[in-house]
A and B are shown apart, each in its own frame.
Chain A
């Protein structure tokens, strides 16, 4: 093979391997990353011992978020369903909303997502509002067991 003659000082860089690694990394992070839903307010979900929580994707759900009044607070600030915010002790509105949702889609599931530090007395009225809407099957949101 005849040698190529280069002008003095010019370095040729073979970028093939670097492109391979770069694309591998992009694909890795694309697959590992999951676009989180914008409708979930930030709260600390319960983390049970040997969690039996199931990570079921692609469900038609109404997520009821019981948001604490500050990080680690025991009292609830409000209940959020989507962008709608319902103040505490006014859960009749929640019952009406759930009745409307189940009429619109009878197969819809209801997820109860409450902060782990909230008192049971703050969450139980929400559960009562759910049963008042005629819904008995509820999914409790908890962290999935790490493999």
Chain B
């Protein structure tokens, strides 16, 4: 006759003293057997902060073209830079005349070549007038930008930029007409 495994004896004395409000805790089957439990990380707050940061940077980012500088030199009006030995160089004068609206007429004083309204054409003419391209002006030849009083500042800077593109180093501004 096989012996059946003995059942654990229930001690009725233990259960006798339990009050109605007390709970009986039982060891859980899953956690009781593991040594050194794995810590659980709650990522909710971190995700909140990350998305807040992301939304902030998306809203504050600005993809507009940034501003830079064009170094210029203003006339001091205290005498020519050229030494006494060299004869003063004849300046190349760029006249800007307001045609109304946003258009402006560009011409080089003393030059019959018409330029029109394009500052890209002004650059090409300035480049062609340079000594290395067969013209008569050196890169340090003074250039005077002479706009009408009502010509927009943007056009004046555009003319200045064209001169800088053509690599002239001595570009000045005249009094408004």
- By a beta-carbon cutoff of 8 Å, the part of chain A in contact with chain B is 15, 19, 22-23, 25-26, 29-30, 32-34, 36, 45-56, 66, 74, 111-124, 127, 130-131, 135-144, 146
Contact = CB atoms under 8 A, between A and B. Distances in A.
Indicate the size class of the contact surface on chain B: 35 or more
B76 A136 contact: yes
Contact of A111 (B69, B157, B176): B69
A29 B70 contact: no
Contacts of A121: 149-150, 176
A67 to B, nearest CB: 12
Interface of B: 43, 47, 50-51, 53-54, 57-58, 60-63, 65-77, 118-120, 123, 147-154, 156-158, 160-162, 164-165, 173, 175-176
Given A124-B173, A131-B74, A74 B152 contact: yes
B123 A142 contact: no
10 tightest A-B CB contacts, nearest first: A116-B154, A53-B68, A29-B57, A48-B161, A139-B69, A121-B149, A46-B157, A144-B68, A55-B68, A46-B154
A46 to B, nearest CB: 4
A30 B120 CA distance: 37
Contact of B71 (A120, A137, A144): A137
Given A26-B50, A139-B71, A116 B152 contact: yes
B51 to A, nearest CB: 7
Contacts of B51: 22
Contacts of A130: 74
Nearest to B176: A121
A120 B68 contact: no
B161 A142 contact: yes
Contacts of B67: 45, 53, 55, 113, 141-144
